[in-house]
Amino acid sequence: MKSAAYYTAKKITFNTFVYLFLISVALSCIFPLLWMLSSSLKTQETIFQDMSLIPRELHFENYMRAWTEGGFGRCFLNSIFYTTSVVFGIVIVSSLAAYAFSRFKFPGKNLIFYIFMGAMMIPIPGSFVALYVLLNKLHLRDTPVGYILCMINVGLSTSIFLLKTFFDKLPHELEDAARIDGCSKWGIWRHVALPLARPVLAVVIVFNTLNVWNEYFLALLIFDSPRLMPLQLGLMKLQGEFVTQYPLLMSGLTITALPIVLLYLLMQKYIVKGVTQGAVVG
Amino acid sequence: MNYLKLKSTFENYLFILPAVVIFAIFYIIPFIWVFQLSVFEWDGISPLKTAIGLANFKEVITGDPIWWQSMLNAGYITIIALTFQNAVAFFLALACDREIRFKNWFRVIFFIPPVLSEVVVGLVWQWILDGNFGLLNGWLTKIGLAHLAKYWLSDPATALNTVAIIHCWKGFGWGFLIFLAGLQGIPRELYEAARVDGANAFYCFKNITIPLMIPVIVLVGILTILGTMQAFVLIMAMTGGGPAYHTQVPVLRIYASMQGASRFGYACAQSLIFGVILITISFIQYRFSGKQSR
């Protein structure tokens, strides 16, 4: 029979290893962001020599320069505009459709729903080639409208799925009561269904916000004019220039990453919910 | 009465109309056009399209070594993601499933890389891994390992591995969250019953945790394969596919056929072949998971 001390020692050693593992991975997750922040406060001269995490002098003017000279101010506003428009569009369009799929009866309902769901399962990695041709034909290339519509389409299937599963589980009583009181279908959707769906709408909003804010490739396909570019495109453009201005680039990266990290920290409850629910879809 | 019923059905269609219109224009039409365009030689601008039958497909399969190289690269990154990334994610989830302190903090932190954009992750790591002024080489020199310092992203010997590791860094949080949800779904009574019967921790892990987690492991596996095979923005931001095609992946090749070479038909043929490969892989995995859960 081994002594109690042996077991305690064994447990402590084991736990130490577990914590070391967790902490080192956690540090690797945070450190690149800290290094980005630190680099954004150095100058083009000191950035190549100063390897310290906390710079000797803090050059906050880099952010001013990135905002104006680097063009990140305009990109930032563009990104805000695209993100809010797309998320608003997705909420309206997908909640209307999900509500109809869940509550109404009409010919072809199941077929249409399965086509939407099929889009989530079937990968067509190169459909952007045809999308590019189509947008050219419709004269929607290099326009905000073209980008916003494309991005609404990207988020549609998953959002409809999440909302429909929610409506399917929702009891009908409140809607029946509203109907008896003479409320139209649109009124019930607007004043009963949408407010009740608030928890799942939060998931839809948070996920699509992350998705649109972080989107790069469709923006690359669609936008040629610098004045229309969102942040991700502005970053790649600055990086591609002949001599990369690292402090400026790092300021731009911080401007891009900070809102999304803040949103994540505030809304992480919904993100965890979305990942675990969304995984069931795939 | 009949009129009212008709009006009601019409109204029902109005609810789904916006979604259907957007979906038809931006998903269905491009989907069909990919098939149509794939049998043409077309530069994307000129009104003239030359129908060339299946010549594009033949060229992809027999006459495009870079394409198959890019497929191998993506396969290599996928294998690293399947093994290394998912193993790390699994063990982190196991560690966080226990009674430990700061559990929620770890959970929050591990999902920070996935919420960042691929462009941000790519550019930050490119700066850290920079051959001349990067932090990693700076540290290696400082601790006396200067001979290990490398041009991580522009040396053909290390580029693909470096890209793969950063891809894993960006992606492990997804697997971690799904694994953790799966672990938390295992009833505690099973472990308690096994303990009462005298089973040790390893025995519990092998005979309770692993069998019950198989469906989740397969699910994460499918998501990893589909996600990693199609990943390319991170690579665009870090290496742009270089040095000399060493980090090329299929989607980058499709984009290059379209934008660089202006061969729209060829790009469509590539993407169809790639799509068929992806569907086959996920179908095999799906069948496999069906057998496991039965």
- Cα dist from A193 to A92, A171, B14, whole Å: 12, 11, 17
Contacts A–B by Cβ distance under 8 A: 242
Three-state DSSP at B50 gives strand
Give the contacts of A40 (CB within 8 A, at least 6 positions apart): A62, A63, A247, A250, A251, A253, A254
Average pLDDT over residues A22-36: 94
CB contact under 8 A, B23 and A105: no
Q: Which of A10, A12, A17, A29 to mutate to test the interface with B (most CBs of B within 10 A)?
A: A29
CATH classification at residue B212 = 1.10.3720.10
Residue B110 domain-assigned (yes or no) = yes
Mean local confidence (pLDDT), A123-138:
87
Q: Domain total for chain B?
A: 1
pLDDT > 80? residue A3: no
Residue B97 lies in a domain: yes
- Quick check: B29 and A134 CB within 8 A? yes
Residue B109, pLDDT score: 94
What does the pLDDT read at residue A275? 79
Instruction: State which residue of chain A sits closest to B37, comparing Cα positions.
Output: A130
B69: exposed, middle or buried (Cβ count in 10 Å: 0-12, 13-18, 19+): middle
Q: Is residue B237 part of a domain?
A: yes
Report percent pLDDT > 70 for chain B.
98
CB contact under 8 A, A119 and B23: yes
Please provide the average confidence, as pLDDT, over all residues in chain A. 89
**Residue B163 included in any domain:** yes
Question: In this structure, what DSSP letter does residue B40 have?
Answer: E
Res. B64: pLDDT tops 70:
yes
Task: Give the span between the Cα atoms of B227 and B207, in whole angstroms.
Answer: 30
B266 in a domain, yes or no?
yes
- Evaluate whether residue B231 is within a structural domain: yes
Cβ distance of B169 and A123 shorter than 8 Å: no
Model pLDDT, residue B144: 84
Q: Is residue B109 part of a domain?
A: yes
Q: How confident is the model at residue B294 (pLDDT cuts 50, 70, 90)?
A: very low
ipTM given for this complex: 0.90
- The greatest distance separating any two alpha carbons of chain B, rounded to the nearest whole angstrom, comes to 88
The residue with tokens 């945070």 is A30
What is the reported pTM? 0.90
- Sign of the alpha-carbon torsion through B94, B98, B101, B105: positive
In a domain, B279, yes or no: yes
User: For residue B86, what are the domain limits?
Assistant: 65-293
